[in-house]
Amino acid sequence: MAETFYITTPIYYVNDVPHIGHAYTTIAADVLARYHRTCGRDVHFLTGTDEHGQKIAQAAQEQNLEPIELADRVVEGFRQLWRKLQISNDDFIRTSQPRHEKQMTQIITKLIERDEIYLGHYEGWYSVTQEQFVNDTEAAEHDYKCAVSGKPLQRVKEANYFFRLSRYGDRLLDHLDKHKDFVKPQARFNEVYSRVKEGLRDLAISRPSLDWGIRMPNDPGHTIYVWVDALCNYITALNYTDQADKWRYWPADFQFIGKDILWFHAVIWPCLLMALDVELPRCVFAHGWWTHDGQKMSKSLGNFVDPAEYLDTYGPDAFRYFLLREVPFGRDGDFSDESFLRRYNTELGNDVGNLLSRTTNMIERYCQGKVPKRGQITADENALEKTGRELADHVDRALAECKFHTALEAILGLAAAANRYIDATEPFKLAKQSDSASRERLETVLYHCAEAVRLLSVFLSPFMPASMEKVWQQLCWEQAGQMSLDESGRWGALPSGTVVRKGPPLFPRMDKK
Ligand code: MSP
């Protein structure tokens, strides 16, 4: 049986339309899911929407809608964007679905039976935008405003059911000591570690005055706190309570999140799992945040980067590429049209696109559109082949650590090497000679160009699936999608005689958006 690989994104709130932040995590997860599929793994890629809670109830009320009506609308927008971005998720969970609600009831019942939940009282601050209880010190530090959204905190005084989070501090520390990869990147691990060391407090996990949620099974006057409801999606989507079939994917290999929701995923989530006696995920990876032209994106500034704008002009792949190339996953980054366009024109247009068109052009003109033989190789070919042969390893190592930018750097390194190789070997000059040695040399050179393009396309395809399909059409390479990376990622897999058909430029030059 194939090794499983389970990757998740956060489930997104349905109070508003998707933006670059949602797209970022989802694209990164998609790349990894696609990559592991090409490696032959049994991949499960989950995304979805977080639909309950005060924030959604308020947004619906402002628009004179029932929360579920708002959710239905916004979910459609998410699904559409994921289709356009070529997201290959295997499942899409909505917390309003009966499959989730039913299991949540069972999960809470189990926690009650295990004495993990008790009735208590909360008096303090609450951030509706983050759906988060905020302690007094933190509230005062941020002038009683939400540290993430800047919106005023709410004062609440209510009876709640509490989860005995404080029981799990030592066990979590022990887990962190033994699993240094549990939280990535390292700086986030350290942050979590030192906060857990200060001790954990029990967590309110129900809201008494909120209707839009799943009822507490022991007390229908309360709904389950939205974060507990949301976190459990990662296991309810696998039918946790049946533990059949899809349960084989647990524990998750990677749970991708943004840095603002680290506490929930790296502390509350594992403690809930421990209380349920469920194995912990292998890695929670927190990425950084994007700013736009150096500014934080916010509703009031109206400066959210809308992925749809870029998709319409450039297609899905340039956007996918840019987000993962521009910033190391885990760091903050800035989005600007200038840097987007620069990478688009130079790296995609010149390095990748031109390499393909130069190669297919020459093979059509000089070799009747068929990939020639490899022939006798020289130091130039040796160097190019070496770069090609080392690529699989470089990419694999980088992706094992979610270093998307490093993987792309290595892949684009092959494009650069191939372009340099063409400049050094000057096949267009060789084509003008009539002797047989030059002819043979020309064929060897063009074989190497075609093979470099093919190999490049194999490793770029998880990042830019739509464009690489086009490359495969130009190379008339029908089995491309079905081959395992073991075969297709090896230098030399391109048979001579393959028909090549030139196509339109992959990434036509653009001057502005
Ligand atoms: N519903 C919760 C997650 C529950 S998961 C059990 C939630 N949803 S969200 O829609 O507000 O945010 C989803 C993700 O978008 C978070 O990971 C967050 O970090 C990310 N981003 C929001 N703004 C962002 C940027 N400006 N840049 C990068 N990512 C950002 O939180």
How would you classify the pairing of strands 333-335 and 295-296? unpaired
Domains of the chain: 4-288 (3.40.50.620), 337-488 (1.10.730.10)
> Does ligand 1 have an atom closer than 6 angstroms to the CB of 21?
yes
- Ligand 1 binding pocket includes 261 (Cβ within 6 Å): yes
Residue 57: pLDDT band (50, 70, 90) is very high
Q: What is the pLDDT of residue 307?
A: 92
CA-to-CA distance for 132 and 138, rounded, in angstroms? 12
Asked whether 297 lines ligand 1 (CB < 6 A), one says yes
Query: Among all chains, which residue has been given the structure tokens 């309950």?
Result: 52
Q: How confident is the model at residue 149 (pLDDT cuts 50, 70, 90)?
A: confident
Instruction: Confirm or reject: Cβ of 48 under 6 Å from ligand 1.
Output: no
Ligand 1 binding pocket includes 226 (Cβ within 6 Å): no
What tens digit of pLDDT does each residue of 428-438 get? 999 999 999 99
Query: What whole-number percentage of the chain has pLDDT above 70?
Result: 100
Beta strands in 210-251, from DSSP E residues, in sequence order: 215-216, 219-224
Closest ligand 1 atom to Cα of 259: 19
- Ligand 1 pocket, 290 CB below 6 A? yes
The finding on whether 257 has its CB within 6 A of some atom of ligand 1 is yes
Whole-model pTM: value is 0.97
Is the shortest distance between the CB of 252 and ligand 1 below 6 Å?
no
Distance CA 226, CA 15 (A): 14
pLDDT of 513 above 80: no
Q: For ligand 1, say whether the CB of 24 is within 6 Å of any of its atoms.
A: yes
12 lines ligand 1 (CB under 6 A): yes
CA angle, 215 then 120 then 219, to 5°: 25
Q: Note the pLDDT tens digit of each residue in 409-448.
A: 999 999 999 999 999 999 999 999 999 999 999 999 999 9
Separation of CA 127 and ligand 1 centre (Å): 15
Amino acid identity for residue 155 in this structure? R
Instruction: Report whether residue 13 contacts ligand 1, using a CB cutoff of 6 Å.
Output: yes
Q: Which atom of ligand 1 is nearest to the CA of 260?
A: 19
Nearest CA to ligand 1 atom 23: 21
End-to-end CA distance of the chain: 47
Ligand 1 atom nearest the C-alpha of 258 is 19
Measured N-to-C along each axis, helices 436-460 and 379-400 cross at an angle, to the nearest 10 degrees, of: 0
Task: Dig out the tokens for 466 from the structure.
Answer: 């739509």
Query: If you take atom 30 of ligand 1, which residue's CA is the nearest one?
Result: 21
Per residue in 157-182, pLDDT tens? Answer: 999 999 999 999 999 999 999 999 99
The residue whose CB lies within 8 Å of the most ligand 1 atoms, and thus the one to mutate among 7, 8, 13, is 13
Which pLDDT does position 408 carry in this prediction? 98
Answer whether the bond into residue 185 is a cis peptide, omega within 30°: yes
Average pLDDT over residues 197-217: 95
For 75-93, write each residue's pLDDT tens digit: 999 999 999 999 999 999 9
Contact 366 CB / ligand 1 (< 6 Å): no
Ligand 1 contact, 231 CB (< 6 A)? yes
| Cα-based angle 477, 478, 479 (whole degrees, multiple of 5) | 100
What pLDDT sits at residue 245?
Answer: 93
Q: Ligand 1, residue 297: give the atom nearest the CA.
A: 26
Cα-to-centroid distance, 21 and ligand 1 (Å):
6
pLDDT above 60: residue 456 = yes
Tens digit of each residue's pLDDT (9 = 90 or more) over 107-145 = 999 999 999 999 999 999 999 999 999 988 889 999 999
User: pLDDT tens digit string along 388-403?
Assistant: 999 999 999 999 999 9
Which tens digits make up the pLDDT trace of 298-342? Answer: 877 889 998 988 999 999 999 999 999 999 999 999 999 999 999
